[in-house]
A = this chain, B = another copy of it.
Amino acid sequence: MTDPTTTAAPAISPELQEAIDGVRADVAALHAELTRYGLVVWTGGNVSGRVPGADLFVIKPSGVDYDDLAPENMILCTLDGTVVEGSPGSDRSPSSDTAAHAYVYRNMPDVGGVVHTHSPYAVAWAARGEAIPCVITAMADEFGGEIPVGPFAVIGDDSIGRGIVETLRGHRSRAVLMKNHGPFTIGKDARDAVKAAVMTEDVARTVHLSRQLGEPVPIDPNAVDSLFNRYQNVYGQDPTGSLN
């Protein structure tokens, strides 16, 4: 009899194994960016990455110290959120947010990475159920407008995943503030989703600070459009366009 929360390992070609190993290494290493930027404390927060060319993703184990994360203890899951039996790390429980990540991968085929944190400024907006208005050019560049709020949803079924997808589908923002909970971000791969998580906290903080002493000046919507389009197509060494 198989454990209902694991899935028998599929036959794995050498190419697929290489892809899995690459995502394991990326996902393990990217967690260091969450601590570097103060987005997480203790064992909170999680990064996952889709395995290119397969219905699989890799995610952090639950409740493990950031100092102890390594490629071999990342956990390989199928898109229904169950652990692939016998794969490295499959003796441990995956992140308690695994169902939400899986829901996003099933329903947003272009998403290659998902990140969740309780970063303080972003959660402060989420606890008021308030979207972050677009009043700085860095936010227009990165998110193309406001960062929206998603519904209050309790862990345990698909309601968090559904809230993320319903809020972000068709939206320029790669970040959603789940009400009373915290930010989830998506990206074309795990690194891109981590970047979105870092930028979410950065703009959450800056706009918070600005509003503490008065009202920030809104940016003209045409300028927001222009900044977003330029940034998605020109910035960096290898611009590949927006995720959405």
User: CB-CB contacts of A211-238 with B at 8 A, as 1s and 0s?
Assistant: 1111111010001001100100011110
Interface residue ranges, A against B (CB under 8 Å):
37, 41-44, 61-64, 92-93, 96, 118, 120-121, 123-130, 135-138, 152, 154-156, 179-182, 195, 198-199, 202, 205-217, 219, 223, 226-227, 230, 234-237
Minimal beta-carbon separation of A15 from chain B (angstroms):
28
Q: Which residues of B contact A237 (CB under 8 A)?
A: 61-64, 92-93
Contact A179 B120 (CB under 8 A): no
Contact (A217, B129) CB under 8 Å given A41-B198, A136-B180, A208-B212:
yes
Contact (A135, B217) CB under 8 Å given A93-B236, A212-B208:
no
Q: Which residues of B contact A135 (CB under 8 A)?
A: 127, 180
Q: In the complex, what residue of chain B is closest to A62 when comparing beta carbons?
A: B236
7 closest A-B pairs by CB: A63-B236, A124-B209, A124-B210, A127-B216, A127-B210, A120-B206, A137-B181
Contact A235 B182 (CB under 8 A): no
A-B contact pairs, 16 of them (CB 8 A): A37-B41, A42-B195, A43-B236, A62-B235, A63-B237, A121-B209, A124-B210, A124-B212, A127-B135, A130-B213, A130-B214, A137-B180, A152-B217, A152-B223, A179-B217, A208-B213
Contact B199 A42 (CB under 8 A): yes
Complex alpha-carbon distance, A179 and B205, angstroms: 17
Complex alpha-carbon distance, A93 and B62, angstroms: 40
Minimal beta-carbon separation of A31 from chain B (angstroms):
15
Contact B120 A205 (CB under 8 A): yes
Q: Which residues of B contact A195 (CB under 8 A)?
A: 42
Minimal beta-carbon separation of A33 from chain B (angstroms):
8
Q: Which residues of B contact A217 (CB under 8 A)?
A: 127-129, 152, 179-180
